[in-house]
A and B are shown apart, each in its own frame.
Chain A
Amino acid sequence: MNALKLIRLVVWASIAVLTAALGFLLLAPPKDTGTGVAAVGGPFRLAAADGSVVDSGMLMGKPFALFFGFTHCPDVCPTSMLEITNDLVALGDKARDFRVYFVTVDPARDDAKLLKDYTGSFDPRIIGLIPKDEAELAAIAKSYRAIYRKVETPSGYTMDHTASIYLMDAKGAFFGTLDSKETPAIRQSKLRRLIDKR
């Protein structure tokens, strides 16, 4: 091997190492819980549609589900709420104290009365949460790694949003998600494991 070839090899090797390092810095999760599970979720304190305040610190010992949605949503939001209502009913007494928090990504239109009517028409265990401003909404969406975006339509606007239902365990840690594509049996077994987990 002559000197030129060696230099070329060293240069290419350095580029490879730098690219890998850069990729790691860009793609690695910013935070880690220390258990190898990427952090999803975090503390929040939001006004509820029933006039109370829900503080995640008070939810210790109580597993819960959390969903980002809005009432001007013709399809995904009512379907998700209907499915989890059916799941809670199927779980019977086990889910008696379970709560599902519906965080509106459209606080400009979803006031307390509207949101309470809306969630109440599914199940009283579904509680609407209303961020008081963009900063509060952005903060909870960021901690759950959820996306929301206002999109103009001819008559006004609609909201893109993450449609998963987040499951949080009794210690406030991320447990998993529920998805509309899953069968009721799978969703209910996840909920059962979540509620049983201590």
Chain B
Amino acid sequence: MTKTSLLRALAAASLLALAAPAAAHDFKVGDLKIDHPWARATPGGAKVGGGFMKITNTGTQPDRLIGGSAEISAIFEVHEMKMEGNVMKMRALEKGLEIKPGQIVELKPGGYHVMFIDLRNPLKEGDTVKGHLVFEKAGKVDVEYKIESRASTGGTGHDAHSGHGTKAP
């Protein structure tokens, strides 16, 4: 190997090393793929925050997201939020959130979310929060939530995330 090609190889390797962390923000457990868990930075004093992600079931059996935890909150629940007319309604999904075989379920603002209740600290943009999710069949998986701006909608317009996965329909 000449000196030049060695340098080239080193340069290529360091580029790969730089690119890798940005591209990999998904987690797998059994037949489930959990794509880009994230949450919005919280306003001052807020005791709750919502977490979002995309869950894909590549298997042949339905599964359910039934619980989890996050290091920043005492309580973790799976919720559905919806607007009925101009009234906001939020409900805990007591049987969990079903992900059918072949289905992609997106937890996003204005819809399904995991809720961090009794936050110990505010969620700050740029931070990463460790936690885990529990599925009825696939079991427990460690995940990390990226804390984005209060205006973020995740997915589209989110640069670090555009390198992989498919866009929401």
Interface residues of A (CB under 8 A from B): 71-76, 78-79, 81-82, 86, 109, 113-118, 120-122, 147, 151, 153-156, 158, 160-164, 177, 179
A162 touches B87 (CB 8 A): yes
Q: Does B115 contact A (CB under 8 A)?
A: yes
Determine the residue in chain A with the shortest Cβ distance to B94.
Answer: A154
CA distance A160 to B48 in the complex (A): 15
A118 touches B115 (CB 8 A): no
Number of interface residues of B (CB under 8 A): 30
Which residues of chain A come closer than 8 Å to B44, judged between CB atoms? 117-118, 120-121
Contact of A154 among B47, B88, B92, B151 (CB under 8 A): B92
Known: A118-B45, A121-B45. A153 touches B109 (CB 8 A): no
B92 touches A82 (CB 8 A): no
Q: Is the interface of A mostly helix, strand, loop or mixed?
A: mixed
CA distance A122 to B151 in the complex (A): 12
Determine the residue in chain B with the shortest Cβ distance to A82.
Answer: B150
CA distance A115 to B113 in the complex (A): 24
Contact of B47 among A72, A147, A164 (CB under 8 A): A72
Shortest Cβ distance from A160 into chain B, in angstroms?
5
Q: Does B160 contact A (CB under 8 A)?
A: no
Q: Is the interface of B mostly helix, strand, loop or mixed?
A: strand
Which residues of chain B from 29 to 43 have any CB-CB distance to chain A below 8 Å in the complex? Answer: 40, 42-43
Q: Does B68 contact A (CB under 8 A)?
A: no
Contact of B43 among A81, A86, A154 (CB under 8 A): A81
Which residues of chain B come closer than 8 Å to A79, judged between CB atoms? 109
A75 touches B109 (CB 8 A): yes
Determine the residue in chain B with the shortest Cβ distance to A153.
Answer: B92
CA distance A74 to B89 in the complex (A): 12
Interface residues of B (CB under 8 A from A): 40, 42-50, 75, 77, 79, 81, 83, 86-92, 94, 109-110, 113, 115, 117, 150-151
Known: A74-B115, A75-B50. A122 touches B43 (CB 8 A): yes
B48 touches A155 (CB 8 A): no
B88 touches A161 (CB 8 A): yes
Residue from B44, B91, B109 having most chain A Cβ neighbours under 10 A? B44
A156 touches B117 (CB 8 A): yes
Shortest Cβ distance from A75 into chain B, in angstroms?
5
Determine the residue in chain B with the shortest Cβ distance to A86.
Answer: B151
Residue from A109, A113, A156, A179 having most chain B Cβ neighbours under 10 A? A156
A78 touches B45 (CB 8 A): no
Determine the residue in chain B with the shortest Cβ distance to A74.
Answer: B50
Contact of B90 among A116, A121, A154, A160 (CB under 8 A): A160
Shortest Cβ distance from A70 into chain B, in angstroms?
10
Determine the residue in chain A with the shortest Cβ distance to B39.
Answer: A74
Contact of A71 among B46, B87, B110, B117 (CB under 8 A): B46
Known: A75-B113, A78-B43. A151 touches B90 (CB 8 A): yes
Shortest Cβ distance from A104 into chain B, in angstroms?
12
Which residues of chain B come closer than 8 Å to A114, judged between CB atoms? 45
Which residues of chain B come closer than 8 Å to A151, judged between CB atoms? 89-91
Determine the residue in chain A with the shortest Cβ distance to B118.
Answer: A155
Residue from A151, A155, A179 having most chain B Cβ neighbours under 10 A? A155
8 A-B pairs (CB sep. < 8 Å): A71-B45, A71-B46, A74-B113, A75-B88, A117-B44, A121-B45, A151-B89, A163-B88
Which residues of chain B come closer than 8 Å to A76, judged between CB atoms? 81, 83, 88, 110
A179 touches B86 (CB 8 A): yes
